[in-house]
Structure 1
Amino acid sequence: MSTKFKNLRNDLEDLEQDGQFDIDETSSSSGSKSSSKIANYILLFAFIATLTFYAGSQFNSSGIDLNPLDNIVQEFNQPNEDLLNRMGAWMEEMGYGTLTHEELIALRAEGVTATYTSQIRDAGYPEVTLEQLVELQDADVSSTFTSMMAELGYELTVQDLIDLRRADVTAFFTSNMMDLGYTMEELTQENLIRMRNIGVTHTLAERLTEERGALPTVDELIRYRISNQ
């Protein structure tokens, strides 16, 4: 019995070893196949990426528009021919010569319309040029601001208007400062710009006047604002 049992155990061990070998061999084969698949996927991905990049560069170099929606929106926003014709006629009547549709579209893109041009001219600037009109719009100089500053007694050049608005000087601020008792001699263009550049408001001037019982000078307002930021 002992010998038979021993032989049986040896046979089982041999079978287990053979089975383990088969398992290892199968596992190795499976791992090789898996690695091969991963490598194939990587190559496929690289090929697709290269093809996409090449196709994109070809589209761009051939001038094909990849974003037609922008073109549709721009086309929709373009003024119609009748509007351009009427604007051109009005601009010519005001002395700006015969402007092409392209020139009129460029002016409108800068915010310069025939209406705006007429309003600036009526506010006291009949000789304003197209270049100055573009600069005025760029500095956010409205015809309302221009007219109000004239009503307050200021005689300003086109460049003065541009400088004032770029410093955020408004007719509202200027008028309220006058209401507090400041004179035009105190509220010069330079002083208006100095005050607005550091954030002086008419409410600050009003509060300090109430606290001190006297109207602070422009220099005192500026120094106070600097010291109490």
Structure 2
Amino acid sequence: MSTKFRNLKNDLNDLEREVGGVDENSSSGSVTSGKTANYILLFAFLATLLFYTGTRISNFSFGLGDRFENVVNSMNQASPELLDGMGEWLVEMGYPEMTHEELQAWRDKGVTATKTSEFRDIGYTDITLEEVSMLDQAGVSTTFARYMNELGYELSIQDLLDLENAGVKAYFTSRMLDLGYTREQLTKETLIRLRKSNVTEDLAAQLKEERGALPTIEELIRYRISNQ
């Protein structure tokens, strides 16, 4: 029996001696007193049991949480072979040699050699590992950067971050170009304005069909604001 439950038993014995001493020669009122004592004992037992049990469950939960965190951290740790390959590839791309600890730290920030290489292939040949991390944290994918590049946009790292933060999608940009808008009309700032005004490519197509002409950017925004 654990120490906690031995303490529980001792506490209950002490309480029983305090409230259980009823005079056998007393009047019938002693029966009621005895029942009251039993209720008190039962209540004390349940309260004490809940306290000790709760403490044990709490300790178990904390221990389980620690073990789960250790498992997750272990899963996130790259193997030495993978880190070796990552380091060699980064060196080939012109980045300095790094220890396994440094490489793992970059991986924890979302940086991989594959992702870095893909951004460089798109045209961001001078991209830093810190910028790769910033793009990853913001949710900018290499796919988005590649599509925007294929649509004819020459965007800086900050441009990519601004467009992603505004929720601009490559699909929306492509559809607007298909409708007849030009890249000169659909600048980064204009794309962000359209997105923040909740202008969709379907709305632009609808107004073009209804009016028989392509609405201007300002007309799209004013129409959307007037028809919230």
- Normalising TM by the smaller chain, what interval? 0.7 to 0.9
Q: Which runs of 5+ in 1 are unaligned?
A: 1-20
1:28 to 23, 26, 32: 32
Cα separation, 2, equivalents of 1:99 and 1:77: 19
TM-score, scaled to structure 2: 0.77
- The equivalent of 1:191 in structure 2 is 190
Compare 191-200 and 40-49 and name the one that shifted more.
40-49
The normalised TM-score by structure 1 is 0.76
Q: C-alpha distance in 2, partners of 1:169/1:45?
A: 58
SS at match of 2:209: helix
| Paired residues for 1:13-24 under 5 Å | 24=28
How far, CA to CA, are the matches of 1:125 and 1:134 in structure 2? 14
In structure 2, give the amino acid aligned to 1:33: A
Seen in structure 2, the aligned counterparts of structure 1 residues 134 and 47 have a Cα distance that, compared at 3 Å, is closer
One-letter code aligned to 2:34:
S
Distance 1:123 1:66 in 2: 42
CA drift of 1:32 comes to 4.7
> 1:167 corresponds to which letter in structure 2?
A
CA 1:97 to 1:29, structure 2 compared with 1: closer, same or farther past 3 Å?
Answer: same
After superposition, the Cα gap between the structure-2 partners of 1:153 and 1:25, relative to the gap in structure 1 and judged at 3 Å, is closer
Matches of 2:109 and 2:32 in 1, distance apart? 72
How has the CA–CA distance of structure 1 residues 91 and 30 changed in structure 2, closer, same or farther, with 3 Å as cutoff?
A: same
In structure 1, distance between residues paired with 2:177 and 2:40: 86
Q: Which 4+ runs in 1 deviate beyond 4 A?
A: none
Q: Kindly indicate whether residue 147 of structure 2 is the aligned counterpart of residue 148 of structure 1.
A: yes
SS of the equivalent of 2:70 reads helix
Distance (whole Å) between structure 2 residues aligned to residue 224 and residue 69 of structure 1: 53
Cα distance in 2, alignment partners of residues 156 and 146 from structure 1: 8
Q: Distance in 2 between matches of 1:119 and 1:177?
A: 26
Tell me how far 1:185 sits from its aligned partner.
Answer: 1.6
Question: In structure 2, how many angstroms separate the alpha carbons of the residues matched to 1:36 and 1:149?
Answer: 75
The verdict on how the C-alpha distance between 1:188 and 1:43 changes in structure 2, with shifts beyond 3 A counting, is closer
Looking at CA atoms only, which structure, 1 or 2, has the larger radius of gyration? 1
One-letter amino acid matched to 1:124: G
> Quick one: which amino acid aligns to residue 169 of structure 2?
T
Task: Give the letter for the 1:31 counterpart.
Answer: K
2:11 corresponding residue in structure 1: none
Q: Partner residue of 2:205?
A: 206
Sequence identity of aligned pairs in percent?
Answer: 49
Give the aligned partner of residue 98 of structure 1. 97
| Paired letter, 2:132 | L
Deviation per CA, 1:26-53: give whole Å up to 9, x if none: 4234235325524643773587379x39
